[in-house]
Amino acid sequence: MKIAKNAYVSQKIRHKTVTVAKFRVNKLVPGVFIIREADDPDQLEIIRADFFKQPGLRRPDDKPVLAFAAGYDDAIDIVTNITREAMEKYGTPDLKKYVYSDYYGSVTYNSEYT
């Protein structure tokens, strides 16, 4: 599974490097959710990282991991903030365009709006 080069790792995750490294080699990362592209246009999906330990879900695809969140509520906050930032930058909630821009990796989402 690909991880975006500018993937965001939540401030609420204690050991960021270890968490990403464990996910990359298919180790258990309890309580962590990932955010990636959905099949629907201009949508993101939130999935528990534990689900990818199942062999059928670990298959390679073109959808990279865009963010790691510490729990479902944190993932919702991150997606909400991504949407808000995309609206401010482009005037429309064009999420895919926003997360693949250079601007995405420079923003910290730490639930400042909630």
The more confident residue out of 18 and 55 is 18
> Taking the model in full, what pTM does it have?
0.79
Full residue range of the structural domain in which residue 69 is found: 3-106
pLDDT tens sequence across 58-91: 666 777 888 999 999 999 998 998 888 888 888 8
Share of the chain above pLDDT 90, in %: 16
Share of the chain above pLDDT 70, in %: 83
Model pLDDT for residues 8-30, shown as the tens digit of each residue: 888 888 888 888 888 888 888 88
In a domain, 114, yes or no: no
Residue 113 lies in a domain: no
Q: State the sign of the Cα–Cα–Cα–Cα dihedral 27, 69, 8, 43.
A: positive
Evaluate whether residue 94 is within a structural domain.
yes
